[in-house]
Amino acid sequence: MKKPPSPESFLPLKPHWFHILLSLADQEQHGYGIMQEVLERTDGKVRLWPATLYGTLKRLMGEELIEESDERPSPELDDVRRRYYRLTRFGRRVLAAESERLEDLVRVIRSKRRAAEAES
């Protein structure tokens, strides 16, 4: 029997993987909603083009980090062509592990910066 992967086996996450998982951390979303949230959250610095986004969504589903949701918003707010995505439990664990890795990295950077400023 194949051993399931650990969250750490996915680290470091590719930046676009991280942004997609982060977009799904607090709500289910469709692809265009994910693109818009990433663009807004990064002040336009990260843009997910459709081919990148939908290819990555397919890959994230294959890795069981996200899944397609059966739940839909009310019909007046929905478009039947949209697919909605959500994080899996494992996807949440991977996102948490990457967030912790990035927090550790920021701590090291700040520590180095303080040490350099103290020397000047």
Domain parsing of the chain, residue ranges: 14-119
CATH number of 14-119: 1.10.10.10
Residue 1 pLDDT greater than 80, yes or no: no
> Average pLDDT for residues 80-107, to the nearest whole number?
96
- Adjacent-strand bridge partners of 86: 67
Range with the lowest mean pLDDT among 17-21, 50-54, 81-85, 100-104?
81-85
State the pTM of this model.
0.90
Q: Smallest Cα–Cα separation from 33: which of 65, 7, 57, 63?
A: 57
Residue pLDDT, tens place only, 23-59 = 999 999 999 999 999 999 999 999 999 999 999 999 9
Alpha-carbon distance values, 18 to 37, 51, 57, 62, 92 (Å)? 13, 17, 12, 16, 11
The answer to whether the CB of 46 falls within 8 A of the CB of 39 is yes
Residue 72's pLDDT is 76
